[in-house]
């Protein structure tokens, strides 16, 4: 009925978000395991960042698998930016040692 000047939302194929969420989840799990093996529980910030990254990507992975609708480019991009910021934040505590 009403026309807007905004372009329609672009949809993303489901396999790319599944691949990226799976890789971020694997990276978060590896960070948690390596931090616990090296430092134990003496660095809770980096341990918490790894856990947040793992559980957030796991949640989005399961949500994408159960969803019948395709995801928009904007939603996938914002989720990937959040996970990328968590990945970069993993390196901050190791810079101050």
Distance in angstroms between the alpha carbons of the first and the last residue of the chain: 60
The answer to whether the CB of 42 falls within 8 A of the CB of 74 is no
| Residue whose C-alpha is closest to residue 55's, from 21, 80, 17, 14 | 21
pTM, 2 dp: 0.82
Quick: pLDDT tens for 65-95. 998 888 889 999 999 999 999 989 988 766 6
Mean pLDDT across the stretch 42-47?
A: 85
At 44, the pLDDT band (50, 70, 90 cuts) reads confident
The answer to whether the CB of 31 falls within 8 A of the CB of 50 is yes
Does residue 9 have a pLDDT over 90? no
């Amino acid at each position: 009925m009403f026309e807007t000047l905004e372009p329609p939302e672009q949809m993303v194929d489901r396999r790319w978000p599944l691949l990226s969420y799976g890789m971020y989840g694997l990276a978060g799990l590896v960070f948690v395991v390596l931090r616990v093996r090296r430092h134990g529980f003496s660095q809770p910030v980096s341990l918490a960042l790894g856990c947040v990254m793992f559980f957030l990507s796991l949640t989005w992975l399961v949500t994408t698998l159960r969803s019948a609708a395709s995801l928009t480019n904007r939603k996938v991009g914002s989720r990937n930016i959040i996970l990328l910021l968590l990945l970069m934040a993993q390196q901050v505590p190791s810079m101050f040692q």
